[in-house]
Amino acid sequence: MTKTILFISPTGTLDNGAEISIVNLMKFLVDEGYRVLNVFPDYKVPSQEEYRTALQNAGIETYGLTAVKWWWEEAPGGSPGNHFMRVTSYNKNIKDIRNIIVDNKVDLVISNTVNVFQGALAAAFENVKHFWLIHEFPEGEFGYYKGKLDFIDKFSDDIFAVTGALTEDLEKYFPNRKIYSFAPYTQMDPKEEIKTDSNFHNRIISVGRLTQRKNQLELIKAFQLLNLEGTELVFLGAWDEDYKQICDDYIAEHHLKSISFLGHVDDPWSMITDKDLAVFPSSMETFGLVYVESVLNGIPTILSDNAGHRSAFEYMNEQGHIYHLGDLEALTRIISDTLAQFNKEKREAVQAVPSLKERYSLESVYANITEKLEDNELHHKKVNKSDIDFLNTKKALTKSVKSAIKKLFQLKKIN
């Protein structure tokens, strides 16, 4: 009998690694004969229509739910509306997901981010199995979820985390259970490189959104130190305006030339030449999909040693070169050495592609998840009132009213 699996998605867009990765898993499961449903927060934006269309074309049934806030209240994304409105929305979303579970005879619910909880509760209410897929380290903007670990433990039949550093980190927080691993998957069809003549200079390229976390300023500083005549530095990807301004100011202050920002490109790898060196200086990643895409395209690649990059580097047989984050001297030296023997580096990168593609296949990266899909053992999760106090609308209303009264008194004092 065909199993029905319901995924709870974090954003309903294809602009982040967690979504791209699991959309590929959903497509794979459809091909394997599973019935796959997907729920996402519907904010009525064009990118979500593209997302919905892409999923439906792949045979995935989609449900867009209106939400005031989709993630935990403490999660990134601010505090839209007020506490009462958010709690009311959470309750409605849980009810809607319960209805989807019942109407479609769902066998398994999978939450595709630590930041959503509605699917976990809906599954528990309907006595349905639930998996939690975790892509985020419990630190920085996601440090808040350390306070949710007991909840995650209680409402998960199985917990899966991105392979490598994240799995090792989470094992410390869940000492009494097994944390299973998976590698995020990006569909990679190697592109035909733009061929260049022998007189064409090498370029240094970096693919990905220009942000503080991606840390491209470090690469700009290394490029300044290299001072390579004729070599270009090219950034492919959209940007956060504030961070782009920081980079522009640095470039102007130091009179740097030959640096280009090409903005968003639908298929950045189609713009790569056979003389390009890729560099990824991110300060934080969970895995590093763009690095994976680079080496699968046979591009000589350098990456920083943040925890997620290290995990991807080890998974991809240590293809390319890795440097210590923040060490400009090391980054500059590795770029210089790689360019000095570029033909050899390029030949080795291309030769590595077949074995890397075999290692990085859908069957292998999601083996732990697909194996567990056929495990019918269910951990019976009883929902107690204390577990869902944060969804008590009466309590939320009281908090909302208190907040309003407090603001009113503040206004009176001002007047």
Q: How far is CA 62 from CA 95, 133, 144, 154, in A?
A: 17, 19, 29, 27
- The pLDDT tens digits for 33-43 are 999 999 999 99
Query: SS in 3 state form for the chain?
Result: CCCEEEEECCCCCCCCHHHHHHHHHHHHHHHCCCEEEEEEECCCCHHHHHHHHHHHHCCCEEEEECCCCCCCCCCCCCCCCCHHHHHHHHHHHHHHHHHHHHHCCCCEEEECCCCCCHHHHHHHHCCCEEEEEECCCCCHHHHHHHHHHHHHHHCCCEEEEECCHHHHHHHHHCCCCCEEEECCCCCCCCCCCECCCCCCCCEEEEECCECCCCCHHHHHHHHHHHCCCCCEEEEEECECHHHHHHHHHHHHHCCCCCEEECECCCCHHHHCECCEEEEECCCCCCCCHHHHHHHHCCCCEEEECCHHHHHHHHHCCCCCEEECCCCHHHHHHHHHHHHHCHHHHHHHHHHHHHHHHHHCCHHHHCHHHHHHHCCCCCCCCCCCHHHHHHHCHHHHHHHHHHHHHHHHHHHHHHC
pLDDT per position as a tens digit, 380-414: 677 888 888 888 876 665 655 555 545 555 554 54
State mean pLDDT over 251-264. 95
For residues 300 and 294, give the distance between their C-alpha atoms in angstroms, rounded to a whole number: 8
What does the pLDDT read at residue 396?
61
User: What pLDDT score was predicted for residue 47?
Assistant: 84
Domain parsing of the chain, residue ranges: 4-185+365-407, 203-359
What digits encode the pLDDT tens for the residues 79-96?
999 999 999 999 999 999
Q: State pLDDT tens for residues 122-147.
A: 999 999 999 999 999 999 899 999 99
Query: Are both 4-185+365-407 and 203-359 of the same fold?
Result: yes
Locate 141 and state its tokens: 């903007």
Could you please state the CATH topology (level 3) that the domain comprising 4-185+365-407 is classified under: Rossmann fold (3.40.50)
* pLDDT at residue 374 is higher than 80: yes
Chain-centre distance of CA 246, in angstroms? 25
The alpha carbon dihedral of 365, 8, 45, 99 has a sign of positive
- The predicted structure's pLDDT at residue 147: 95
Q: Which CATH number is associated with domain 203-359?
A: 3.40.50.2000
* Average pLDDT value for the chain: 91
Phi, psi of 178 (to 5 degrees): -85, 130
CA distance 219 to 279: 8
pLDDT in tens, 314-349: 999 999 999 999 999 999 999 999 999 999 999 999
Tell whether the model's pLDDT for residue 19 goes beyond 50.
yes
Token digits for 220?
Answer: 């700009």
Which value, to the nearest 10 degrees, does the dihedral of the CA atoms of residues 210, 215, 216, 222 take? 180
* Adjacency order of strands within the sheet including 35-41: 61-65, 35-41, 4-8, 108-111, 129-134, 158-162, 179-182
Instruction: For 278-287, give one letter per residue: b (16+ CB within 10 A) or e.
Output: bbbbbbbbbb
pLDDT of residue 115: 96
Average pLDDT score over residue span 3-7: 97
Provide, rounded to the nearest whole percent, the portion of the chain with pLDDT above 70: 93
Using an 8 Å Cβ cutoff, are 170 and 134 in contact?
yes
Stretch 197-212: mean pLDDT: 88
Q: Which two tokens stand for residue 105?
A: 């005879």
* pLDDT for residue 402: 55
Question: pLDDT tens across 143-169, in order?
Answer: 999 999 999 999 999 999 999 999 999
